[in-house]
Amino acid sequence: MEVDVSKIEPGQLIRVEWRGKPVWIVRRPQEILDALPKHDDQLRDPASEQPQQPGYAQNGYRSIKPELFVAVGLCTHLGCSPTYLPDSFGEQVQGVSSGFFCPCHGSKFDMAGRVFQSVPAPLNLVIPPYYYVNDATILVGADKEGA
């Protein structure tokens, strides 16, 4: 499925559907990207060692281009859809301004979908396969090389 990402504003999240699942696409501002490495010690899998993403998203941003975050919007605990808290996540994790909070049992994920420690969710959010068709468009659901 092709998605026009050119009009997503900094900090904005849009939702699309892929195989019946919600997929989030978020344009992350530079200050969010700069903050990502600062709370690694509070995460369960900061280096994304578990196979929750394609190889091209196994990096500090969990994305192809740092500014654009693409993830399956389902909690890895029991599959609720976490809430995007662009401004008030600090109430959940002190010192971390933005993230995702799952209302079902309180799991917390950062702006790269990495799960915090001491919550029920065991794994980082899933990153689906995707690639850039051009600068303005991504295709969700397939890798460039393959199908």
Chain residues binding ligand FES by CB under 6 A are 75, 77-80, 102, 104-107, 120-121
Closest distance to ligand FES from the beta carbon of 65 (Å) = 28
Which one of 15, 38, 105, 144 is the catalytic residue?
A: 105
Closest distance to ligand FES from the beta carbon of 108 (Å) = 9
Biggest CA–CA distance in the chain, Å, is 42
d(CA 59, CA 46): 10
Based on CB atoms, which residue is closest to ligand FES, 16 or 80?
80
The pair of structure tokens assigned to 129 is 């396969």
Name the amino acid, one letter, at 43.
L
Based on CB atoms, which residue is closest to ligand FES, 61 or 109?
109
Based on CB atoms, which residue is closest to ligand FES, 65 or 105?
105
* Residue in this structure with the two tokens 């578990």, named with its chain if needed: 50
Closest distance to ligand FES from the beta carbon of 105 (Å) = 3
39 catalytic, yes or no? no
Cα dihedral across residues 126, 132, 136, 139: positive or negative: negative
Distance of CA 89 to the CA centre of its chain: 15
Catalytic residues: 105
